[in-house]
Structure 1
Amino acid sequence: MSLTILDNETLGYGRTAVLSEVSFALAEGERVVLLGRSGAGKSTLLNAVHDRLAPAHRVALVPQDHALVPQLSVLRNVLMGRLDDHGALYNLTNLLRVRAGDRAGVAKVLEAVGLGPEIDRPVHALSGGQRQRVALARAWWRGGPVLIGDEPVSAVDETQAGVLLEQARSRFPTAMLALHDVGLARRFATRLVGIRRGAILFDAAPEDLSDAEIAALYAG
């Protein structure tokens, strides 16, 4: 069953078109990876799919800029993954004095991404790679059937990235990510979507695409 469909649509910001006449569907159980040069339109497509999905489905989001609050602790940033599960009073009191059960749950997802000891550190004191893992931990804490991530492992090494993507695979039945590492993309995806100059160049299973076809996305 398709979760979201774009039918011959033009996507962009304001009056600026980034992707023209795009048709796209994301089905339950798929792991779609977007490939292409910076500025090709990957983020635009991710945002459009997120906007279509979010009203009817629980979506865990890892934006490219992480969307963290630097002054707050790792613990409190991860807790924000479930803000919409509770009312304002619960959230306010929990941010002031975190409930034991929530702290234990967050500690577990932080251990999974290798940040257990950093639970009480302010985010501004972390490295870029650590901040990215906080954003991933927030998505793990949120949970749900769908993960959308914009370069969610770009700031960690390839080994860490592989581990984190395996966690994503096990935690989320459906995923749509933009990745810059083609090797990781091939291992994670059930579909690879190549975007070049504002258009989808290919949309196929990894085994049906040659290295040359993928390399053409980045040529010139």
Structure 2
Amino acid sequence: MLHLQGERLAYGDHVVLPDVDFRLRPAERVVLLGRSGSGKSTLLNTIHARLVAQGRRDLALVPQEHGLVPQLSVFHNVYMGRLNRHRAAYNLVNLVWPLTSQRRQVEKALVAVGLEGLGRKPVGALSGGQKQRTALARAIHHGGTVLIGDEPVSAVDERHAAELIARLGQRFETLVLALHDVALARLIATRIVGIKGGRLMIDRPAQQVSDGEIDALYRL
């Protein structure tokens, strides 16, 4: 699906990961672990950009900053997950006066993330956790087989985070997620990639990675 070999990845003018070898295969559930600033987002953004460049239409994204429009309703933000599936005139109608059929489809995504009945609420009035759920609902509404997520459940409590991660695993065949919660990583990952000091220190099947190796990623 994707192969980065000897890649030099930067954030702006700053080289974050100077020599990256990374391969993504269909049906993998890859979790990136490491301290804040280690390069997880840089690697995720590169993966997403390369998959987009391939012309993939089965790719959903949950960015770290959610990518929501606060002035618009939850419905409108989730509906935007499928803007590319319809003509401009059809999208304009639904942005001004949403069709019942589209409200029903969006509501299914809202139910999946625990936001049922909140479609008409402005995103700007939501809590941090609700905004994150809205971004997840948009990705679910978009659909596809591949999900790229940068800390997609960081603002949700532990129990609901586990439920949402499990649901994403049911909805998408291939996952690449940056997480800060090791327990969640263990719950979903088939493969763990650990980043430290500008290097991919771990890149193995999840069951082969020890807790001690993961702990070492977070030591100064």
1:188 aligned partner: 188
**TM-score with structure 2 setting the length:** 0.97
Q: Which SS does the other structure have where 2:180 is aligned?
A: coil
**TM-score with structure 1 setting the length:** 0.97
Write out per-residue CA displacement over residues 121-158 of structure 1, whole angstroms, 9 at most, x where no aligned residue.
00011100000000000000000010000000000011
2:49 aligned partner: 51
> Paired residues, what number?
218
Shift of 1:96: 0.6
- Code of the residue aligned with 2:211 in structure 1: it is D
Q: 1:209 and 2:213 equivalent? A: no
CA distance in 2, matches of 1:167, 1:53: 23
- Code of the residue aligned with 1:80 in structure 2: it is M
- Regions of 4+ moved over 4 Å: none
1:138 aligned partner: 138
- Code of the residue aligned with 2:45 in structure 1: it is N
Identity of aligned residues (%): 56
1:92 aligned partner: 92
- When the two chains are superposed, the root-mean-square deviation of aligned CA atoms in Å is 0.9
Of 2, 27, 30 in structure 2, the residue corresponding to residue 4 of structure 1 is: 2
Unmatched 5+ stretches in structure 1:
none
Q: Which SS does the other structure have where 2:168 is aligned?
A: helix
CA distance in 2, matches of 1:87, 1:123: 25
Write out per-residue CA displacement over residues 178-215 of structure 1, whole angstroms, 9 at most, x where no aligned residue.
00000110110000000012110110112111111000
2:199 aligned partner: 199
Q: Which SS does the other structure have where 1:139 is aligned?
A: helix
Unmatched 5+ stretches in structure 2:
none
Q: How does 1:150-189 map to 2 (within 5 A)?
A: 150-189=150-189
CA distance in 1, matches of 2:23, 2:127: 36
Q: 1:119 and 2:119 equivalent? A: yes
2:34 aligned partner: 36
CA distance in 2, matches of 1:52, 1:29: 18
